[in-house]
Amino acid sequence: MGKMEAAGGLAVTTGVDVNAAVERLRAEGIPAKVAAKDATLWGPDAEAEAAIRLGWVDTFVKSKELLAPLAKLRAELGEQGVDHIALAGMGGSSLAPEVISRTLDLGISILDTTDPGQILAELGEAKLRRTAVVVSSKSGSTVETDSQRRAFEKAFEAIGVTEHAGRFVFVTDPGSALESLANEQGSHLFLADATVGGRYSALTAFGLVPTALAGADVSELIDQAEAFAATIGSEDDDPAVVLGAVIAAKPTITIADDGTGVVGLGDWAEQLIAESLGKDGKGTLPVVLEGPAAAGARGSDRVYATVGGSSTGLPTSGSALAMPDVVVNGPLGAQFLAWELATAYAGYLIGIDPFNQPNVTESKNNTNRILADGLPEERPHAVDGAVEIYGSHAGTVAGALGELITDADTADAYIAVMAYLDRIDDAEVAKLRAELAERTGAPVTWGWGPRFLHSTGQFHKGGRQTGVFLQITGAAAEDLDIPGRDYTFAGLQAAQAAGDRQALESRERPLVRLHLTDRKRGVNQLLHAVRELS
């Protein structure tokens, strides 16, 4: 297949010509400088941020201190009849735990949503009586996480669990409001490494606390990362250097599981790459695929990557034409560190600060203003069955989707589908990504709102300004109050969607909104309409 480098249990094999970039990284000593936490590598404007954000390089050493208290707490919770973990967290606080949970089949409920239906599903009495809630927020003030915490508190009280403080486990940075709350009410508290940014925090308390409490042997993840860390800057094989050069090689990287043991890593890598590299009008766009060779995997503007846990480094079957452009195989702990290193190297090659996120707060600020002032008044251009159409001249759903595809028929364009729905009950709608990808040469991404705001949302505003956006919203069959707030979960979800629309519309990019007045009927309509398109 071309170039292959393997070390520390992980192999990267690629047919992409990255020799010049690899040699540049090595000649300039970049791996060794990253290992030494040299904050000057990404330029003077990035130095101050990098100086306090390089702890991830060896954070797994500090994370060993978590092992004994986590084992003790898991045993205590088990004695109380707790055998289920719900995680309230967003972005870097939820994505790594989700990969670990899916890979190890831990069954953690990941609540990175404001959809009332998805939250209500976790609040039934039978499930709640056996649940402990991990509340994870680096800042301690994340609105989604705070709202979920309040809902769980009220639900525990409603079923008579009045001493519910012991059912909460808080993970946060030192000095946050969440630390103060934990100490005030007597909840369990784990402080994370403050020198690690959220999207690089897989091997900190954010990634390890919920998964250890759910039964993962997180010491194995730490050992895998430590073994891989010993290879950084190797004069022989250094897989992360090759991976970093591959990420920087093309405008887009498509990522799929290869079916050999690591599940869902693309969702975590999506945030890492998009939020780290999507700024200054440039960067690499990550596209998460449903599976190997899914629609839109290949193209002259993209690198197609597969990820797995196999130690062989290459698929065992398939023709050369079906081979991905890069194969990344190895244990999950090594995968986390390798992709983090590779993203930092790619930032150096592209000329981007991989540690800031200058556009992330824009939609959040819009949301806060809307919550204070009320939703803007909007009227649909047309109504087609169970779907209201906004931002399009078309009178039908098929026509609106056709306009979207036409808008994306330009050089460097990509389509971003953003669904503010229940990603469990409304999961069928995600088939729309592949359907759109089959009908256009553009890369097509999928994001569940507001989850993607903590991920590709940075790229949408700060990356290359060639996005074409489809926002899908839906009427909630049942709403849920947020205790102590004058808005509900459905109201918060609607405000987040509107706030993000305002941020995107200010950039004068094409944006169509399809609102489902009946979610089940509306989803069926969308899929039927896109399949009608040639």
Helix (H) or strand (E) holding 137: strand 131-137
Which pLDDT belongs to residue 317? 46
Exposed e or buried b per residue across 247-271, where buried means at least 16 C-beta atoms within 10 angstroms of its C-beta: bbbbbbbbbbbbebbbbbbbbbbbb
> pLDDT tens digits for 70-105?
999 999 999 999 999 999 999 999 999 999 999 999
With CA atoms as reference, report the closest residue to 82 among 150, 128, 134.
128
With CA atoms as reference, report the closest residue to 479 among 87, 110, 120, 86.
120
- Cα 454 from Cα 110, distance rounded (Å): 15
Does the pTM of the predicted model rise above 0.75?
Answer: yes
Which pLDDT belongs to residue 311? 66
DSSP code per residue over 162-176: --GGGGEEEEE-TT-
Residue that the structure tokens 């915490």 belong to: 149
- Cα 472 from Cα 348, distance rounded (Å): 36
Sign (positive/negative) of CA torsion 111, 116, 122, 125? Answer: positive
Which pLDDT belongs to residue 322? 67
pLDDT averaged over every residue in the chain:
96
Is-contact 348 42, C-beta < 8 A? yes
Mean pLDDT of 440-444: 96
Which pLDDT belongs to residue 291? 95
Residue 497 vs residues 115, 366, 381, 493: alpha-carbon distances, Å: 11, 10, 18, 6
> pLDDT tens digits for 181-222?
999 999 999 999 999 999 999 999 999 999 999 999 999 999
Which pLDDT belongs to residue 117? 98
DSSP collapsed to 3 states, 88-99: ECCHHHCHHHHH
Q: Is the pLDDT of residue 313 over 70?
A: no
In the chain, what are the helix, strand and coil shares in percent, each to the nearest 5? Answer: 45, 15, 35
Q: Is the pLDDT of residue 318 over 60?
A: no
With CA atoms as reference, report the closest residue to 347 among 34, 10, 135.
34
Residue that the structure tokens 């729905």 belong to: 421
With CA atoms as reference, report the closest residue to 461 among 406, 419, 418, 426.
418
> pLDDT tens digits for 323-373?
899 999 999 999 999 999 999 999 999 999 999 999 988 999 999 999 999
Q: Is the pLDDT of residue 391 over 90?
A: yes
> pLDDT tens digits for 152-190?
999 999 999 988 999 999 999 999 999 999 999 999 999
Which pLDDT belongs to residue 312? 58
Q: Is the pLDDT of residue 3 over 90?
A: no
Is-contact 84 191, C-beta < 8 A? no
> pLDDT tens digits for 270-287?
999 999 999 999 999 999
Which pLDDT belongs to residue 316? 47
